[in-house]
Structure 1
Amino acid sequence: MSGFRTLAAYQKSYLLATSIRRMTVDFPKEERYSMTDQIRRSSRSVSANLAESYGRRRYPKHFVAKLADAVSENYETQCWLDFALEAEYIKEETYDRYIAASEEVGKLLSFMENHPGKYLR
């Protein structure tokens, strides 16, 4: 198994992205190419950027830069959740659960950004 899959941040971000995909199945069809695609893309990008950062562990600046991309995508996902709540595509309880999961991913990513030496080769 590739090492990035053992990272808690990867595991939690991956679970969040797959859960968001399932949640957005019920979004209105007119949102298919806007909100639905955007929230799916940004949530998946968190895991993808984290995996990419892991592959760049030999280069500390590149490693941290890709982690920063993952953090940014995580914030974008939260923004799309805000829009979904406002449009009443999701209930507040669902929103709260997804935001909490995203915040947890964000804390793990921030730890990695602030302590890159623990992950570098």
Structure 2
Amino acid sequence: MEEFVPHFKFEKLKIWQKAMDFGEDVFDASKKFPKEELYNLTSQVRRAADSIALNIAEGSISQSYPEYKKFLGYSIRSLAEVVTCLYKALRRKYIDQEQFNELYAEAFHLMNMMHAFKSKLM
């Protein structure tokens, strides 16, 4: 079997890799949400978490830095949406304080990485 070799430039970006991991962590946490939340908070937090990496990838295809920055802005907004959903999940007792703290710390680290990356673009 051949070794997989990434060909897209976004696959090499640490922020994309971290966003991919964060999306999976949020997905796993949302599995514990009650069934009545499936089409509400569960769906919302999953879509927002996935949107972070999706927008990083989509922006990387752009030929201009302003366009790339726009997509990074979308990623940052999606991350803020996830954090708000996590607060909702904590208040509704779908996740405990420890899980919230872990996901919040990941989100904060990712936010800092995205802001730093965005500021380095021309």
Give the TM-score normalised by the residue count of structure 1: 0.93
2:110 to 90, 105, 109: 105
- Paired residue secondary structure (1:49): helix
Match of 2:28 in 1: 22
- 1:68-110 deviation per Cα after TM superposition (whole angstroms, max 9, x unaligned): 0000001000000000000000000000000000111101110
| Residues paired across the two proteins, number | 116
Match of 2:57 in 1: 51
1:4 to 3, 10, 14: 10
Match of 1:31 in 2: 37
- Separation in 2, partners of 1:63, 1:20: 25
| Residues 33-112 of structure 1 aligned to structure 2 (within 5 Å) | 33-56=39-62, 58-112=63-117
Compute the RMSD of aligned alpha carbons.
Answer: 0.8
Shift of 1:24: 1.1
- Separation in 2, partners of 1:5, 1:104: 19
Shift of 1:20: 1.1
Letter in 1 for 2:24: T
- Separation in 2, partners of 1:72, 1:26: 24
- Separation in 2, partners of 1:59, 1:95: 37
Match of 2:121 in 1: 116
Shift of 1:37: 0.2
Letter in 1 for 2:99: T
In structure 2, stretches of 5+ residues that fail to align are 1-5
Give the TM-score normalised by the residue count of structure 2: 0.92
Hey, which bits of structure 1, 4+ residues long, moved more than 3 A?
Answer: none
